[in-house]
Amino acid sequence: MIPFIHKIITDVVKSRQKTGKSKSATEPLEKRVNNLEIEIVHEVGDFFFLLLGVVSASFGLRGFLIPNGFIDGGVTGVSLMVNELTGVTFSLLLVCFNLPFLILAYFSIGRRFAIKSVMGIVLLAVAVAVIPYPAITDDKILVAAFGGLFLGLGIGLAIRGGAIIDGTEVLAIYISRKTSLTVGNVIMIFNVAIFTAAAYFLSTEIALYAILTYFAASKTVDFVIDGIEEFMGITIISDKNEEIRLAIIEKMGRGCTIYKGENGFAKKGEARKLVDVVYTVITRLEMSKLKTEVEKIDKQAFMIMTSVKDAKGGMIKKKPIKKFDK
């Protein structure tokens, strides 16, 4: 950390302690400063991903889809379709149609996630309205393919930054927790309804190209984040395994399993050290927060992240709809 910034952070932590605003006043000053530094670094990284996502998505919309009257799936697709039918400004429609989903995100996922998502959607609306992107092409195949590609890239980057720029995912996550439907099933049903409406109100040709656009966008999102509903199996090896276990339970609201293991890095004749290995399963959207919490406790912790295509039982799908990131 740059010394000047480190000094500012230290002064902020000391000020919080004096005013009684610090929730961890019993921890050493150095540890509280270190935790705040980690949080700031992660937040800056998340904002960078979100900003890149906004630039990419706005380019896909203004450079390809909007000039050619094309639509996509999700809330963005609804906004594009209403814009085409009524002439109401797309940026205004995007914010208004996403508002209910952002409120749902606040109550069902968490305040931090909702604030980031509000920021992402507002930035996207402003970028589409203000940045003078040129119309790249009027070839329909290219518009559908590359419009979807840049839009999907933007959505994927935003999710990697811990936010969304299309509220469909929030609705899908909420419904999947309440029913046996997966996130993918909910999104598919939602988009089938949109494409059917597009075929009726606009034209069958536009609806077919919209499906192609959505296909390109969804595949790009899969490429960037390996699927929004994918679970991650995380194995953590650290000498501070008990602190990490408590952080997963208390701060993440997730369950975990402790494996008894031995440290294999020992020469012939040397005694192998016993170690508790922490294993947990989380969603991709929670990955950023878990990394932050683990790094606060042990920067040298060894983490193995693997894809889990589906999970059943335990706390992963039955987690109560409540906020953990206050």
Question: Number of helices and strands (H, E) in the chain?
Answer: 11, 4
SS3 75: helix
Measure the CA–CA gap between 318 and 308, rounded to whole angstroms.
17
pLDDT score recorded for residue 64: 94
Lowest mean pLDDT among 1-5, 63-67, 124-128, 134-138: 1-5
Q: How much is the average pLDDT of 109-138?
A: 91
Those residues whose C-beta lies under 8 Å from the C-beta of residue 125, and which sit 6 or more positions away, are: 91, 92, 94, 95
* DSSP state letters, 108-157: HT-HHHHHHHHHHHHHHHHHHHHS-PPP----HHHHHHHHHHHHHHHHHH
CB distance 80 to 70 below 8 Å: yes
Measure the CA–CA gap between 173 and 232, rounded to whole angstroms.
16
Type and span of the H or E element at 282: strand 274-283
Those residues whose C-beta lies under 8 Å from the C-beta of residue 284, and which sit 6 or more positions away, are: 159, 225, 226, 227, 228, 229, 230, 231, 232
pLDDT at 1 exceeding the cut of 80: no
Q: How much is the average pLDDT of 145-155?
A: 92
- Give the residue with greater pLDDT, 181 vs 257: 257
**Cross-sheet strand order for the sheet of 274-283:** 257-262, 274-283, 231-237, 302-308
Average pLDDT, the chain: 84
* DSSP state letters, 151-196: HHHHHHHHHHTT--SSTHHHHHHHHHHHSS--HHHHHHHHHHHHHH
Helix, strand, coil shares of the chain as percentages rounded to 5?
A: 65, 10, 30
Those residues whose C-beta lies under 8 Å from the C-beta of residue 326, and which sit 6 or more positions away, are: 110, 111
The pTM for the full model equals: 0.72
Confidence at 122, pLDDT banded by 50, 70, 90: very high
pLDDT score recorded for residue 320: 43
The two structure tokens encoding residue 231: 């679970």
Count of other CB atoms within 10 angstroms of residue 55: 19
pLDDT score recorded for residue 140: 92
- Give the residue with greater pLDDT, 172 vs 237: 237
pLDDT at 321 exceeding the cut of 60: no
Q: How much is the average pLDDT of 183-198?
A: 86
